Amino acid sequence: MVPFHLQLELAQKLTTVSAEQLDQLADEMGFMRYQVRTFNQSALIFVNIEEVGSSTEINIGYIEEPIFSADEVKAIAAAIRQYHNSRKLNFDQMAFDF
- Asked whether the predicted pLDDT for residue 43 surpasses 90, the reply is yes
Q: Tell me what pLDDT residue 88 has.
A: 64
70 Cβ contact partners less than 8 Å away, ≥ 6 residues apart? none
Q: Tell me what pLDDT residue 37 has.
A: 92
42 has which bridge partners? 37
Per-residue pLDDT tens over the stretch 50-79: 766 555 545 888 988 888 888 889 999 999
Which has the higher per-residue pLDDT, 24 or 92? Answer: 24
C-alpha gyration radius of the chain: 15
- Asked whether the predicted pLDDT for residue 19 surpasses 90, the reply is yes
Q: Tell me what pLDDT residue 83 has.
A: 86
The mean pLDDT of 1-19, rounded to a whole number, is 87
Tell me the residue type at 42: S
- Asked whether the predicted pLDDT for residue 49 surpasses 60, the reply is yes
CA 36/CA 69 separation, integer angstroms: 14
